[in-house]
Amino acid sequence: MFINKILVALDRSELSKQVFEQALALAKVTQANLMLLHVLSAEEEGSPYVPVYSGFDYYSGVRGQTLEVYQEQWNAFKREGLEMLQSFCAQADIAGVTTQFTQNPGSPGRCICDVSHNWGADLIIMGRRGHSGLKELFLGSVSNYVLHHAPCSVHIVHLPVVAKKTEAQKTQSIST
């Protein structure tokens, strides 16, 4: 199997740097092109909180201000995503790897599969947050969805064991 096109699914987590570095290293060796993808989704950590309203609209002025604040936060979120993609793209250009990027709104798993299909990707490289149990049941697993629906091979980059332990320790110290 020849790898000519690698789709790299990125979010704003620390793991994305490792995902990008692995994709870049593989692209250099195989002389493949990269497509960097960031999916704009409320599911991503750090995304703006979506305002929810009850059926009671006593304070319409507050509602309008809340929507304005949300729109400003969403625009900043989009801008930060584009800046991340541009930064990774510049690094790939310096390394001599042909790279393009796109930022699409939608459901992350579906969007990754759709872009890989439409672009003709030979491989998808993405990270895995490591949710398990109830958290994965309620939030779903983007990597699991992509593994089962992608039109090509998928390479999953996991958090290093040390990072997982650190996260578990943070969670444990917060809950006690």
Length of the chain, in residues: 176
Instruction: Quote the domain boundaries for residue 55.
Output: 5-175
State residue 28 phi and psi, 5-degree precision: -65, -45
User: In 56-130, which residue ranges form alpha helices assigned H by DSSP?
Assistant: 60-94, 108-119
CATH number, residue 160 = 3.40.50.620
Dist CA 25 CA 174 (whole Å): 37
Q: What is the total count of domains within the chain?
A: 1
Provide the residue-wise pLDDT of the chain in tens; the chain has 176 residues: 689 999 999 998 889 999 999 999 999 999 999 999 999 998 787 788 766 655 555 555 556 677 888 889 999 999 999 999 999 999 999 999 999 999 999 999 999 999 999 999 999 999 986 555 444 444 458 988 999 999 999 999 987 766 555 556 665 656 55
